[in-house]
Amino acid sequence: MVQPDGSRIGTPSASGPAAPADRSIEAFIAAMPKAELHVHHVGSASPRVVAELAARHEGRARVPADPQALAEYFTFTDFAHFIEVYLSVVDLIRDAEDVRALTYGVAEDMARQNIRYAELTVTPYSSVSRGIPDVAFMEAIEDARLRAEKELGVVLRWCFDIPGEAGLAAAEETARLAVDLAPEGLVSFGLGGPEIGVPRPQFKPYFDRARAAGLRSVPHAGETTGPETVWDALRVLGAERIGHGTQAVNDPALLEHLGEHRIPLEVCPTSNIATRAVERIEDHPLKRMVDSGLLVTVNSDDPPMFGTDLNTEYAVAARLLGLDEAGVAALAKNAVEASFLDAPGKARLAGEIDAHLTRWRQH
């Protein structure tokens, strides 16, 4: 179905699919239309795509070209180690064709999960600084976006984020790319990478510039540092959504503020365990967030690197929150509400989720 802005969100047939033999909550999740708001471009490259890129650049890359070996390679000791491994995968992206292939491969994986809409976090600085011409990079992601929408029914939008570990030079370049060369699919401006030693306020001028150009503010905050980082993101960077926000539960005033202003949190449970931001899944603050009345969305972050996908993250959330199918559907609609889709697009996708729940209950 075509929205007013030209994007398509697929609509189930009136009769609906045949009744599934598997009536588990996992089967319900797998078949459910979904939106995802916190998922990284390079971090979503499947083992197959990463292995192909490693083989293509054999001799110049330290990433294993064997998909089986990647599982061990993607085992992290802490957040700093994760960043090190992540950047080694970034090093595999050497030209525009690599960008195009990676992006379409990500969309294929999303289509297999019934993800209808995703806001994919892209770090253009990492590729442009490694020699890919800026215009060629923009053309590559847009080619893949348009092809994914036409062939797979997956609507992609971009968040350009500053790699915080690269400093203010990266912030300046990311702002230039986002404002001066903005591709059609760009909707937001973010800040990723490590939080420790990378204070949020220094990035204010770049967020001001992006926001003045109409982009939405979606920085990471409160993942590996305390609630004060979330406050900085809100007060200084004008955050409209918070990436992670795990530590927000440790500040009652912050919880009240997030709830009162209905500022969404992009929660990534398995990611938080993999990077040691949270010790055990049983200790994850997701339930405290929900019980505090926050607008919580479920996301996969860097799925292949963390051995997960969005379907798995919903299953984890369902277990932690004790949700049935109706509860899972309501959680999925949070992501639609928190997205930067236009109002008709949100209504259609929320309607798809409701229709899926209705069909499930009828069988």
- What the chain holds in terms of domains, given with CATH numbers, is 29-362 (3.20.20.140)
The least confident of 32-46, 52-66, 106-120, 188-202 is 52-66
Q: What is the pLDDT of residue 21?
A: 72
- 232-280 pLDDT per residue, tens: 999 999 999 999 999 999 999 999 999 999 999 999 999 999 889 999 9
Residue 8 pLDDT grade (very low, low, confident, very high; cuts 50, 70, 90): very low
The least confident of 60-64, 207-211, 343-347 is 60-64
Q: What is the pLDDT of residue 285?
A: 97
Residue 7 pLDDT grade (very low, low, confident, very high; cuts 50, 70, 90): very low
Active-site pick, 149, 173, 223, 266: 223
Q: Is the dihedral of CA 337, 342, 348, 349 positive or negative?
A: negative
Q: What is the pLDDT of residue 10?
A: 44
Residue 17 pLDDT grade (very low, low, confident, very high; cuts 50, 70, 90): very low
Cα–Cα distance for residue pair 338/341, rounded to 1 Å: 9
Which of the pair, 251 or 94, is modelled with greater confidence? 251
The two three-digit tokens of residue 213, written as one number: 């150009």
Q: What is the pLDDT of residue 79?
A: 75
Q: What is the pLDDT of residue 196?
A: 94
Position of tokens 């007013």?
4
Contacts of 226 by beta carbon, 8 Å cutoff, 6+ apart: 247, 250, 251
Question: What mean pLDDT value characterizes the chain?
Answer: 91
Closest CA to 132 of 168, 164, 103, 165: 103
Residue 65 pLDDT grade (very low, low, confident, very high; cuts 50, 70, 90): confident
Mean predicted confidence (pLDDT) in 28-42: 97
- 129-176 pLDDT per residue, tens: 999 999 999 999 999 999 999 999 999 999 999 999 999 999 999 999
Whether 58 shows a pLDDT value over 70: the answer reads no
Mean predicted confidence (pLDDT) in 58-67: 68
Residue 61 pLDDT grade (very low, low, confident, very high; cuts 50, 70, 90): low
Position of tokens 């972050």?
301
The two three-digit tokens of residue 306, written as one number: 């963390």
Residue 9 pLDDT grade (very low, low, confident, very high; cuts 50, 70, 90): low
CB contact at 8 A, 219 and 243 = yes
The two three-digit tokens of residue 200, written as one number: 């949020």
Q: What is the pLDDT of residue 78?
A: 79
Residue 204 pLDDT grade (very low, low, confident, very high; cuts 50, 70, 90): very high
Mark whether 142 is an active-site residue. Answer: no
